[in-house]
Structures are given as C-alpha cells and as structure tokens.
Amino acid sequence: MKINCLWLFAWLLPLPAVADLTGRVVAVSEGHSLTVLINERDQIKIRLLGIDAPKPCQDFGKQSRSSLAAYASGKEVRLDDIRKDRRGQTLARVWAADAGCAQANCPKTLDAGLAQVAAGLAWNDPQHGKEIPLAERQRYAEAEFMAKVRRLGLWSAKDPKVPWNLRQKRLEE
C-alpha cells in the first residue's frame, strides 16, 4: 500500500478557521465568554480570541462581565476567525453594532475583545493573541498600553493579577 506523503502532511496541518457566522448573543458568562444563538436553534459558547479577562472572583471581574454584556448582550453579532483551542474551546472575534449608533442603520461595528482591552477590563492575551493577524495584534497591544497609561479599569489597581496565573496555580494544587 502506497501512502501519499503530501496528503499525510496536509492532514497534520491545523484546519483553517471556519467561515464567518452571525447570530444573537443570549448570555455573557465572563468578560471574555459569551453564548451566541445561531440559526435560531444552535447555541455556541465563544471565548473572545486574543484577550483574557479577570475571573468573576478577581478584582474587576464583575465589571469586565458587565462591560461585555453592554457591548454585546441581546445584539446581533458576527463571528470571525473561528477556531478551537487545545482544550476544545471555541474561539472567535466577535463584532457587535457600535453602541453609539442607531442600531437599525449603523454600519459601524466594534471588535468586542479590543473594546474590552481598551476599557482596561481585559488583557491582551499572549497565548491566544498569536491567532490574530499581526496588524490587529498591534492594535490590541496599543489599546492595552493606553489603558495602562490612563490607569483604566484593572490598571487602576496596584498589582492586577493575570487570570492565566490563577488558572496555573489551581492546576498545581
């Protein structure tokens, strides 16, 4: 039996991101996680690609969740760069109608993850940030820098605790 090496190599490569989806946000669980109703019947839990937010038990965790809910809850959203991480979570960038626009005729949308970082209610996530195109990663890094300079949200705290250290600590216990 002859195996086509090119086919085998292609099989080992990561799958490309799924095509864009649209749906309505039906729940916001954390400052980086929400549930989207697709096709009026299928719910998908999404973690925002490129960011990490404080856990509800951490300082600014509740504010982060409330902020994301204000951007997206109940709104029609577009999901792009959809993929799975190594733990099986669905990651995506979430685009919602800009709150400053009249929703019916507003062409402006905002990247909910970038908005969270700019408000100082999420970190530019070094682990999942690699999945975002370089130009967008730079926008996330700049937004985080400006939030730090302005001491917005979690950056107003003396020593904000990053959630990935909290998760690592729990795994070690």
Summarised one tens digit per residue, pLDDT across range 2-58 is 444 333 333 333 334 456 889 999 999 999 999 999 999 999 999 999 999 998 888
The Cα 143–Cα 152 span in angstroms is 11
42-48/51-52 β-pairing: unpaired
What pLDDT was estimated at residue 113?
A: 94
Of 13, 54, 59, which is closest to residue 156 (Cα–Cα)? 59
User: Residue 29 phi/psi, 5° resolution?
Assistant: -95, -35
What pLDDT was estimated at residue 125?
A: 85
Per-residue DSSP letter, 15: P
Q: Is residue 143 part of a domain?
A: yes
Q: Is residue 163 part of a domain?
A: yes
Q: Is residue 21 part of a domain?
A: yes
Given a cut of 60, is residue 104 above it in pLDDT?
Answer: no
Q: Is residue 67 part of a domain?
A: yes
Other beta carbons within 10 Å of 94? 28
144-157 pLDDT, tens digit each = 999 999 999 999 99
50-103 pLDDT, tens digit each = 999 998 888 999 999 999 999 999 999 999 889 888 888 899 999 997 655 555
Q: Residue 146: which CATH number?
A: 2.40.50.90
Distances, alpha carbon 38 to alpha carbons 35, 45, 78, in Å: 10, 11, 10
Range of the domain at 111: 16-172
Q: Is residue 111 part of a domain?
A: yes
**How many domains are there within the chain?**
1
What's this model's pTM, rounded to 2 decimal places?
0.80
Q: Is residue 45 part of a domain?
A: yes
Kindly provide the residue ranges of all beta strands, DSSP E only, lying in the chain, ordered along the sequence: 21-30, 33-38, 42-48, 51-52, 76-84, 90-97, 109-111, 123-124
The Cα 171–Cα 173 span in angstroms is 6
Of 46, 139, 59, 150, which is closest to residue 93 (Cα–Cα)? 46
Q: Is residue 1 part of a domain?
A: no
Given a cut of 90, is residue 130 above it in pLDDT?
Answer: no
Residue 164 binned pLDDT confidence (cut-offs 50, 70, 90):
low
Q: Is residue 11 part of a domain?
A: no
